[in-house]
A and B are shown apart, each in its own frame.
Chain A
């Protein structure tokens, strides 16, 4: 049954902004799907609001809509494009929910759009827990009894106790209809049950609790299952979680294939998995099914299934070489699995089950340090922001690589630091699942714990515990050996120990260990991921290192360029950098080089074996990158390594690589250092005559005060020994400064504190530019909507900048060029400026691709990452202009074009994921430290509509009616009157706090007064504005920051309002420009005039205008 011929165009929905639980794995799956569908000759229409994705690059679809993933926008796209079918299974829960909404609103029926990949029934059967339980219970699988967790619904304590009698302890108690799971808990005995269920019954408005048997501590497994319309079903991968049930699989260390099942148990699980996909009715495509297995008796419980491609399927695809999304797209359009070739072997079909001769370990990356006070306990609610995957020829090797891939100093095993805790303490800490648990297990070994003691504390399977003990044993051998022999080194490397760990164990420098290892010839070989355990020859060079005997790297004649990726996603370094790396791979291929990707993030497009000519799935550490370089240098000529596209991760390696003799292409490590080292960069600025905010370095509180008085308040303070903007604060007076220094620093001459002048009320500007050594091309200038002091990654911005005049742009160009020249940039450069009283201050320069490269590239229809790659390889900007990569002479990303869109970027925050240990929400204040996980883009002809779209895509639609709250700083009051009056005229109810209300009344605006948070509730219980927001009584917030407030609690009211807005998902506008824009957007929405336009249409207009002009 070949490809369907009755459909010719397909709508694909992406997953929107990156949020915790839904990250760039859906860019990977969506990109694969779009590629495949186009190859098959379909017209592909794509909707995704996330500009940082590869899938939204214009060449991946026929019509690419960066528009909000909401039924009203999707309907406009459908009405315009009239697709024959909708494929909703590759864009995560977002796409699935959108498809269900389109179905329920009758839009699919209205336009005759067929749902392919999964039916509405199947989606609902997979999603609806009760329905799913019924399906599992009714399965008929010979020799197996598929079960779901047993439970009972109870309405009284008598019923609760009877249920406990039946189900046995421990039990999960879930009160019905309480907000956010209030009153849920685990009961291990009757006392706890009486307490928790008693509270639950009273908390539940219907006096009802669900009592469910607990599977906490059971073994946890997942199967990735694929089915075609001929009912052929294959299991692509089995995954076993090292962390037992109770920890979300996204937060668990997971291992492929399953390690502790006999064939009988594995086959029983396989049979049940196949029965589930059939019964749920996923006709064509992939799904993911989770199982819990009782460690003592093998009882199997089906936990849940996702009737779509998931994070685990991305992992399984990378782990096995079986591209699930690609195959899912093909079966969705009619192929059967046996008709689809296995890309890797080319000669065998996709209707098989991959078999692995290696072990894959995935480890989660957390960001708790960004959310002070957040409870680090891992639960069934996912908290990690990214992940790294590693491949080794055994578990210990893969685990060691996975942990060092995380680039978290605390993640790798520490065999040497002194331990002050007792074993009892360590075991007690380890019994709480949290981000540091694995390290506690190692600590427990060092304190002499038995495997049984650790098992009792953690329920980690004894096989995994012994593997961890094996790592410990090997470390001890290394520590106590009379000398480091080749055999011992090889053995240590085979069990995943890094050179840095060996160095610590032997009290040597890492360089000495590496030198010795190389001298003894102990180096890794590179094996191939081939789906078939070497049964057939592999066509795709998808490699991983292992300390084994035989290497499989093939010699080549073409010159290679290594691209270092960005590693696991984290806040501040995510998909945007992967975007640039993927572009580099494509550009290099096109330019005739062999592109070689090195990365360890399984969610990404860059780690698809199709993206580059060669893929090395390796940690991005000095050791691992040097070994890849060594292998590639042995295989053929290497032109160099690109470090400027993967964010800080590769940038940090640049100098060490160069010192080791590795050629770096593009901006050199010395130039990178010049931009990053404060003193050196200061000199660059001074030489160029560019102003920067005054600053000083304080070695005592007295010095800090002196500096602050010298440069005047407000000042931005941070400890110099904490990297990455952590612990920054803005203070406005002596008392706050002293308070900060006491609370947050450990000030000494060796640990000084940096004090910078903070430019209150400044406009922040972000610039991406290209420099080839002689010529500069501005990629784009973005104006932040948020006030200064908020991290650029968390701030909304617009391109073109809406309030900056041409003189300022010219000044930006001159300054950028001076810095690019002074630093010695070859490729991309990102600079942050602040404009205050017509003075353009330089805040920071990064000689690398920035987070905004994909946004700028899409807004300006210019491939910046490609251009940067070619410049790194020696091309000039003049040549790139000639080739049409860059705009012609006299134009760049700042050129005003009638046909170009206004683009607005908005950030998306993860605050609703984090609570403190006592259950309250973490502080949601925005500040100099970045906290957002993702971004969206709004594109339109007018700023207002573009802004409205960006808000819709991130928070939900801006309201077209309802209640608006206004609180404006004095300086803004005059400018705010007109838009607020307009809102009132449009019928909005206007709320304001006292000061603002007075001004508005004078202007004849009908306004209701409301209490500030700092005033507290009124005598009659009148709500404060914060409470009103949390209670859902406000639809739109307009709050410009007040700067320093008179009572010395700077901005507190405003920040509380903003927190409430984030928690309640209410759009919050913080600038007058933003409000005007928002009002324009509201008017446009009310006129129903909001239009959708594809990137290809925008591009055609822009290109025509450029051609006409030049």
Chain B
């Protein structure tokens, strides 16, 4: 059945940025009003994964790919239990869905979940604007079609910088994801806004994942006797995540192998003594070239981050637990994309990446990092056993 945006009579919607730039389009998904930080995502596939990624909490996502909704919505590809984006901006919304796994349309799903969308927008113009001026607050409305009035509301909406959003996205109770096949490791995964694919990739490698609320303590972590600790991706400003930094410091003090993704990389950076900063318009897409400096190989990776770690690219930094260095770099702009911590004998104690080896959406080039995690845990276990025997 044809949906409204493709017919002549469709409900108007308006988008206003905090600097006053205005775009008019048509409504899709839920009607109403929404505010958030405007960011653009350049992936050509995977809108379902993107919309359900908790890291997009409080963000209004602009899809640069012009056709959205072509494959509808299915029951298999969600990355969490709901859509997290604050709003969705597209150019051409599909009238039909065409895919053998599709269960319903994107439009229906957004409406069912109360997410406001706007279509028929010059998304390239909007993206160029954000590239030049930086990510900023935005409002979308189907109620208030006066740009000035909507702008006033945008200016009173909360900023992303300084936002601590972890409490909004973390699990309330611990959850257990069983290992696939033989269980080889136990991992305590701190949920700062984790995507479903992350524990899936771990479980495939024989890891039993204990997903823990962000407010967990070191005692609660140690209570499950983990082989390693993992901090997930998540929304918000890492500079505001002091609790998570404190917890990770205790994890490192307890000599637990550590692996972090995205927000987990920024927390690791802070725990190691580095600062973080807000990128002008962030990395959001699935085509970002990252070099693994240990192998000099380039991997094409999925990104979704507006903040980054400020660490020296070519020098090691001494920390209480050993030497930290930058392990991965984005070849587009030299942003720090990974950190590693080695003890004085060179043993890997912890590492993290700013991007998404679990992909979903995105290429699988970096899946090896999950293997690196299991190797680190195996090595740590072997040396611990060795020490125990001695």
Of B45, B94, B122, B333, most A-chain CB atoms within 10 Å: B45
Q: Does A470 contact B (CB under 8 A)?
A: yes
Name the interface residues of B104-154: CB closer than 8 Å to any CB of A. Answer: 122-125, 127-128, 131
Cβ-neighbour of B287 out of A262, A347, A353, A527 (below 8 A)? A353
Question: B65 and A356: CB pair below 8 A?
Answer: yes
Tell me the minimal C-beta distance from B41 to chain A in angstroms. Answer: 9
B23: chain A residues at CB < 8 Å are 549
| Given contacts A357-B65, A358-B66, A352 and B100 within 8 Å (CB-CB) | no
Q: Does B271 contact A (CB under 8 A)?
A: no
Question: A394 and B66: CB pair below 8 A?
Answer: yes
Question: B42 and A549: CB pair below 8 A?
Answer: no
B298: chain A residues at CB < 8 Å are 230, 232, 336-338, 351
Q: Does B189 contact A (CB under 8 A)?
A: no
| Given contacts A351-B289, A527-B124, A534-B131, A263 and B49 within 8 Å (CB-CB) | yes
Question: A271 and B71: CB pair below 8 A?
Answer: no
Question: A473 and B98: CB pair below 8 A?
Answer: no
Tell me the minimal C-beta distance from A442 to chain B in angstroms. Answer: 17
Question: A262 and B101: CB pair below 8 A?
Answer: yes
Name the interface residues of A796-854: CB closer than 8 Å to any CB of B. Answer: none
Question: A355 and B285: CB pair below 8 A?
Answer: yes
* Separation of A293 and B100 alpha carbons in the complex (Å): 11
The stretch of A459-467, A873-881, A1073-1081 in contact with B is A459-467
Cβ-neighbour of A267 out of B101, B332, B363 (below 8 A)? B363
Q: Does B296 contact A (CB under 8 A)?
A: yes
With an 8 Å Cβ cutoff, the count of chain B residues facing the other chain is 59
Question: B77 and A355: CB pair below 8 A?
Answer: no
Tell me the minimal C-beta distance from A320 to chain B in angstroms. Answer: 11
* Separation of A184 and B384 alpha carbons in the complex (Å): 68
Question: Would you give the 0/1 interface string for A473-511, flagging 1 where the beta carbon is closer than 8 Å to chain B?
Answer: 100010000000000100100000000000000000000
Question: B100 and A298: CB pair below 8 A?
Answer: yes
The stretch of B223-231, B336-344, B354-362 in contact with A is B354-362
* Separation of A351 and B330 alpha carbons in the complex (Å): 11
Cβ-neighbour of A352 out of B74, B76, B288 (below 8 A)? B288
Q: Does B364 contact A (CB under 8 A)?
A: yes
Question: B362 and A267: CB pair below 8 A?
Answer: yes
Name the interface residues of A351-409: CB closer than 8 Å to any CB of B. Answer: 351-359, 393-395
Tell me the minimal C-beta distance from A331 to chain B in angstroms. Answer: 12
A354: chain B residues at CB < 8 Å are 287
Q: Does A680 contact B (CB under 8 A)?
A: no
Tell me the minimal C-beta distance from B390 to chain A in angstroms. Answer: 39
A351: chain B residues at CB < 8 Å are 289, 298, 300, 331
Question: A352 and B77: CB pair below 8 A?
Answer: no
A466: chain B residues at CB < 8 Å are 94-96, 98
Cβ-neighbour of A536 out of B289, B332, B359 (below 8 A)? B332
Q: Does A971 contact B (CB under 8 A)?
A: no
Tell me the minimal C-beta distance from A221 to chain B in angstroms. Answer: 12
Q: Does A6 contact B (CB under 8 A)?
A: no
For B132, give the chain A residue with the smallest CB separation. A537
Tell me the minimal C-beta distance from B20 to chain A in angstroms. Answer: 15
B45: chain A residues at CB < 8 Å are 258, 261-263, 266-267
Question: A357 and B101: CB pair below 8 A?
Answer: no
Question: Would you give the 0/1 interface string for A282-317, flagging 1 where the beta carbon is closer than 8 Å to chain B?
Answer: 000000000000011110000000000000000000
For A353, give the chain B residue with the smallest CB separation. B287
Q: Does B315 contact A (CB under 8 A)?
A: no
Q: Does A270 contact B (CB under 8 A)?
A: yes
Question: B122 and A550: CB pair below 8 A?
Answer: yes
Of B67, B287, B291, B298, most A-chain CB atoms within 10 Å: B298
* Separation of A262 and B68 alpha carbons in the complex (Å): 11
Q: Does A711 contact B (CB under 8 A)?
A: no
B65: chain A residues at CB < 8 Å are 257, 355-357, 533
User: How many residue pairs between the two chains, A and B, have CB atoms under 8 Å in the bound complex?
Assistant: 179
| Given contacts A357-B124, A534-B64, A260 and B99 within 8 Å (CB-CB) | yes
For A268, give the chain B residue with the smallest CB separation. B364
Q: Does B91 contact A (CB under 8 A)?
A: yes
Cβ-neighbour of A355 out of B44, B71, B359, B367 (below 8 A)? B44
Question: B42 and A355: CB pair below 8 A?
Answer: yes
For B72, give the chain A residue with the smallest CB separation. A262
Question: A535 and B42: CB pair below 8 A?
Answer: yes
Question: B124 and A393: CB pair below 8 A?
Answer: yes
For B97, give the chain A residue with the smallest CB separation. A463
Question: A355 and B127: CB pair below 8 A?
Answer: no
Cβ-neighbour of A263 out of B43, B97, B331 (below 8 A)? B43
A235: chain B residues at CB < 8 Å are 300
Question: A259 and B67: CB pair below 8 A?
Answer: yes
Cβ-neighbour of A534 out of B8, B99, B127, B289 (below 8 A)? B127
For A398, give the chain B residue with the smallest CB separation. B66
| Given contacts A394-B67, A533-B42, A549-B23, A263 and B77 within 8 Å (CB-CB) | yes
Of A259, A298, A395, A533, most B-chain CB atoms within 10 Å: A533
Q: Does A190 contact B (CB under 8 A)?
A: no
For B130, give the chain A residue with the smallest CB separation. A534
Q: Does A1109 contact B (CB under 8 A)?
A: no
| Given contacts A260-B98, A393-B66, A463-B70, A550 and B125 within 8 Å (CB-CB) | yes
B49: chain A residues at CB < 8 Å are 263
* Separation of A261 and B6 alpha carbons in the complex (Å): 21
Question: B74 and A463: CB pair below 8 A?
Answer: no
Q: Does A422 contact B (CB under 8 A)?
A: no
B122: chain A residues at CB < 8 Å are 548-550
Question: Would you give the 0/1 interface string for A641-669, flagging 1 where the beta carbon is closer than 8 Å to chain B?
Answer: 00000000000000000000000000000
For B122, give the chain A residue with the smallest CB separation. A549
Tell me the minimal C-beta distance from A92 to chain B in angstroms. Answer: 28
A267: chain B residues at CB < 8 Å are 45, 359, 361-364
* Separation of A488 and B9 alpha carbons in the complex (Å): 11
B98: chain A residues at CB < 8 Å are 260, 461-463, 466
Q: Does B237 contact A (CB under 8 A)?
A: no
B74: chain A residues at CB < 8 Å are 262
Tell me the minimal C-beta distance from B21 to chain A in angstroms. Answer: 10
Tell me the minimal C-beta distance from A236 to chain B in angstroms. Answer: 11
Q: Does B46 contact A (CB under 8 A)?
A: yes
Name the interface residues of A665-682: CB closer than 8 Å to any CB of B. Answer: none
* Separation of A548 and B76 alpha carbons in the complex (Å): 35
Question: B66 and A488: CB pair below 8 A?
Answer: no
B359: chain A residues at CB < 8 Å are 267
Cβ-neighbour of A262 out of B77, B92, B300 (below 8 A)? B77
Cβ-neighbour of B300 out of A353, A356, A395, A533 (below 8 A)? A353
Question: A348 and B131: CB pair below 8 A?
Answer: no
A473: chain B residues at CB < 8 Å are 2, 6-7
B7: chain A residues at CB < 8 Å are 473
* Separation of A537 and B96 alpha carbons in the complex (Å): 34
* Separation of A264 and B74 alpha carbons in the complex (Å): 12
Interface, chain A (partner B; CB < 8 A): 142, 230-232, 234-235, 238, 257-267, 270-271, 295-298, 336-338, 347-349, 351-359, 393-395, 451, 461-463, 466, 470, 473, 477, 488, 491, 527, 532-537, 548-550, 552
A-B contact pairs, 21 of them (CB 8 A): A231-B297, A235-B300, A259-B70, A262-B48, A263-B286, A267-B359, A270-B363, A338-B291, A338-B331, A348-B331, A352-B289, A358-B66, A394-B66, A466-B95, A473-B7, A533-B42, A534-B127, A535-B127, A535-B131, A535-B285, A550-B128
The 7 closest A-B pairs by CB, nearest first: A263-B46, A550-B125, A533-B64, A463-B98, A549-B122, A263-B361, A353-B287
15 additional contacts (CB under 8 A) given A463-B96, A550-B125: A232-B298, A338-B289, A349-B331, A351-B289, A352-B332, A355-B65, A357-B124, A473-B6, A473-B7, A488-B8, A534-B64, A535-B40, A535-B127, A550-B124, A552-B128
Interface, chain B (partner A; CB < 8 A): 2, 6-8, 23, 40, 42-46, 48-49, 64-67, 70-71, 74, 76-77, 91-92, 94-101, 122-125, 127-128, 131, 285-289, 291, 296-298, 300, 331-333, 359-364, 367
